[in-house]
Amino acid sequence: MEITASLVKELRERSGAGMMECKKALTENGGDIEAAMEFLRKTGLAKADKKADRVAAEGRIAMAQDGGNAVLVEVNSETDFVAKDENFVAFTNQVAEVALSSGAADAEALKSAKLGDQTVEETRAALIAKVGENVQVRRLARVAGSNNVAAYVHGGRIGVLVELKGGSEELARGIAMHVAAMNPQYLSPAQVPAEIVAKEKEISLAQMSDKDKAKPAEIQEKMIAGKINKILSEMCLTGQAYVIDTNMTVEAAAKKEGAEIVSYTRIAVGEGIEKVKEDYAAEVAKAMQV
């Protein structure tokens, strides 16, 4: 049977394996795609270590919560296709539950935690055999205490933890949704580093018109202070307009319910990972020439 580019592409999409691996699997199995799939799964575990060097910048964020204790876990894959695979999704959910129950401090400690009869690391290696891609448990974020806590995941790609002193679980969830949508850089203006404030002041001075520069120094200072305060409000969670009720700030929404925002954490899939841009068409053509 002729091994066509479309056949190689179909196997690539189903298995997540590399083009060369897919072509070899089809060649070894006479173009039978089901037999080729089985071939890739059987050989995948032996190749798990080789896949560890490949960039995994896609993936999924999973959460688990028990009252005031909650975790977010980021698990990465190479492609969005595998990130939606039922085996991958099940693994991320299980890892989140293990992270919550084990009390692991970080992703490295989580590797040795038990997931059924195997460790998380052993289960990860077995998953690589199934999906044909590098899979990495990258990050773990945790809140543990007696305060009101919300764990929120948006679309599997953005995860947020919010901890409130006072208030309600409903308010905590609302603020978590706000954090997911607006991505504040800091909790409050007091947390903004002095060098950032100084830089914003420098930019504001440079942008000032000649007419404003002719005004008395104290007037200029007030104008710049007002501009800086507006910038800090947009940058910080407490000063942003609350997405659920834009007539008030997040801080005002919290105070309305007698709550104080203790902390928040926001993580997004693949942030900080340098992604490799691939020419998919060229990859197919190259594989067919070998």
Domain boundaries, the chain: 5-53+276-289, 56-146, 189-250
Distances in whole angstroms, Cα of residue 77 to Cα of each of 65, 70, 197, 260: 24, 23, 38, 37
Q: Region 73-92: what's the mean pLDDT?
A: 95
pLDDT at residue 79 greater than cutoff 50: yes
How high is the pLDDT of residue 265?
97
Q: Does domain 5-53+276-289 have CATH number 1.10.8.10?
A: yes
248, with CB counted inside 10 A (0-12, 13-18, 19+), is: middle
Residue 8 predicted with pLDDT over 80:
yes
**Average pLDDT of the residues in 42-59:** 62
Mean pLDDT calculated for residue range 223-251: 93
Strand partners, 148: 164
Across the range 27-47, mean pLDDT stands at 74
Per-residue pLDDT, 46: 38
Name the band, by pLDDT with cuts 50, 70 and 90, for residue 210.
Answer: confident
Among the residue ranges 52-61, 158-167, 177-186, 271-280, the one predicted with the least confidence is: 271-280
| Confidence band of 74 (pLDDT split at 50, 70, 90) | very high
pLDDT above 90: percentage of residues in the chain: 56
What's the whole-number average pLDDT of the chain?
88
Stronger pLDDT, 157 or 36, i.e. the higher one: 157
Q: CATH topology of 5-53+276-289 equal to that of 56-146?
A: no
pLDDT at 249 over 60: yes
Q: Compare 197 and 56 and report the one with higher pLDDT.
A: 197
- Position 283 scores a pLDDT of 55
Q: Measured between alpha carbons, how far is residue 135 from residues 38, 48, 79, 104 in Å?
A: 19, 9, 10, 19
pLDDT class for 45, splitting at 50, 70, 90? very low
CATH fold group of domain 56-146 = Tetrahydropterin Synthase; Chain A (3.30.479)
pLDDT of residue 55 exceeding 80, the answer is no
Q: pLDDT class for 17, splitting at 50, 70, 90?
A: low
If you search the block for the tokens 């319910």, which residue do you land on? Answer: 257
